Amino acid sequence: MPETPANVKTRIRDAAAAAPEKGLDAAVVEIERALVEGWVLERKGAIGPRSVPGFADAVVSALKKLAPPPPRKVKFSDPLRRILPLAEDSVKPAFDAAVLLLALSQVGDYTVVTDKKRKEHELFLDDWRRMIWESARIADWARFRSLVTTEERVLEGRLSRESVLAVLQAIQAKRIDNITPVPDVSVLACARCGGFRGADRARCAQCHGTFCTKCLGPTADLCLADYAARYAPIDAETRQRIAGDVKALLKEFKLDAYSRNESFVRALKEKGVDVVFQDTAPLEGQEVDGQHGRVKLLIREREGGLLSRRGFFGALARSHFRAEDLPLEPLQVDFFVEICLGLPIEDALRAVAK
Ligand SMILES: [Zn+2]
Ligand SMILES: [Zn+2]
């Protein structure tokens, strides 16, 4: 039977429910296996980023049966909490379940999930860790670390147990002192730089790799390598010439990716382009012929927006190409704009050529 997200959730629910009868060891092994399937489904695109939070939430609710939050007040009338024993061999699969849950929390679209819910998940990870420690009689982090063998990474060789240990340890400390920051590390290595810094991960629409924000192109749906590949058809000599021209122009007009609108207006005026701010104009601007051979750039007024900066730099590029009597090739104009925005395309191209 092909695995589906619904099947995975059912397997986890069943395993958690059967734990009092079949033991915690069997439960954590089955839960970890099911979560691996869930992760594979996510990697295959069978669970879209928007569905990931709901999926993870269902898993957490099921697992709360095994790892409830600590009781606030213990009453004598309460039944004694039963701690199911966990063998040392089962500590690793139990921990890897947390690794996979945390990995899911970094690839899903959590923008619409409330802070309260996210906080709940964070606390659950600590409850899960506590359950492992109590059941397997682990007293400290050194012991825990030795049992989950951090040198080796799980799945695809790209999930870091080390990152998860750092996050879990911080959550535990935060629960006590309320100030320890949870480190901004990812469980999943960036497909380009291999780094774990920065928890945000996004997927490239072209190669489907998962990248850190530094290795994603500014369109945010292509990785830098695929972004650079777009510009590979421009020969190296032309690229070098454009890069040189950009450098000179930015210097001449004291412009950079963070310049204010007025600086663009002044620079463009000298280059024969009159900027006209209009509420109905497109954000990235639109050029029309003006009087006496001048050009008008109709653009919506948005200070500091990426689209408007692209619009201004695009107008600068075209005015430059016109002044130099160079053919107006859209790809070259785009390349010009990227260089203006400070994108390390040449580095990316070199990395691709390797
Ligand atoms: Zn990266
Ligand atoms: Zn890519």
Indicate whether 346 pLDDT > 90. Answer: no
Q: How far is residue 249's CA from residue 133's CA, in Å, rounded to a whole number?
A: 62
Q: What is the pLDDT of residue 206?
A: 83
Least confident of 8-22, 187-201, 270-284: 187-201
* 169 residue type, one letter: Q
Indicate whether 26 pLDDT > 70. Answer: yes
Q: What is the pTM of this model?
A: 0.69
Give tens-digit pLDDT for 110-123.
Answer: 888 888 988 899 99
* Residue 290, token pair as written in the block: 């003006």
Task: Kindly identify the ligand whose nearest atom is closest to the C-alpha of 204.
Answer: 2
Cα Rg of the chain (Å, integer): 27
Q: How far is residue 164's CA from residue 150's CA, in Å, rounded to a whole number?
A: 10
Average pLDDT over residues 22-49: 93
Q: How far, in Å, from the CA of 201 to the mean position of ligand 1?
A: 9
pLDDT confidence band for 287 (50 / 70 / 90): very high
Indicate whether 241 pLDDT > 90. Answer: yes
Contacts of 248 (CB under 8 A, 6+ apart): none
Q: How far apart are the first and last CA of the chain?
A: 42
Indicate whether 154 pLDDT > 70. Answer: no
164 touches 187 (CB < 8 A): yes
132 touches 91 (CB < 8 A): yes
Strand partners, 144: none
Indicate whether 157 pLDDT > 60. Answer: no
* Residue 55, token pair as written in the block: 């999926």
Task: Kindly identify the ligand whose nearest atom is closest to the C-alpha of 193.
Answer: 1
Where helices occur in the chain by DSSP H, the ranges are: 5-22, 24-43, 52-63, 91-107, 115-136, 141-148, 155-158, 161-177, 224-231, 236-252, 261-270, 306-323, 330-340, 345-353
In terms of Cα–Cα distance, which of 167, 166, 153 is closest to 123?
Answer: 167
Average pLDDT of every residue of the chain: 89
Q: How far, in Å, from the CA of 260 to the mean position of ligand 1?
A: 29
Q: What is the pLDDT of residue 218?
A: 65
Indicate whether 57 pLDDT > 90. Answer: yes
Q: How far is residue 239's CA from residue 187's CA, in Å, rounded to a whole number?
A: 37
Give the environment of ion ligand 2: residues with CB less than 5 A: 204, 206-207, 223, 226
304 touches 259 (CB < 8 A): no
Give tens-digit pLDDT for 293-340.
Answer: 899 999 998 887 778 899 999 999 999 999 999 888 999 999 999 889
pLDDT confidence band for 352 (50 / 70 / 90): low
Average pLDDT over residues 148-166: 75
Task: Kindly identify the ligand whose nearest atom is closest to the C-alpha of 207.
Answer: 2
Q: How far, in Å, from the CA of 191 to the mean position of ligand 1?
A: 7
Greater pLDDT, 274 or 193: 274
212 touches 199 (CB < 8 A): no
Give tens-digit pLDDT for 68-105.
Answer: 988 777 777 766 677 899 999 999 999 999 999 999 99
Per-domain boundaries in the chain? 5-215, 225-353
Q: What is the pLDDT of residue 113?
A: 86
Q: What is the pLDDT of residue 272?
A: 94
pLDDT confidence band for 238 (50 / 70 / 90): very high
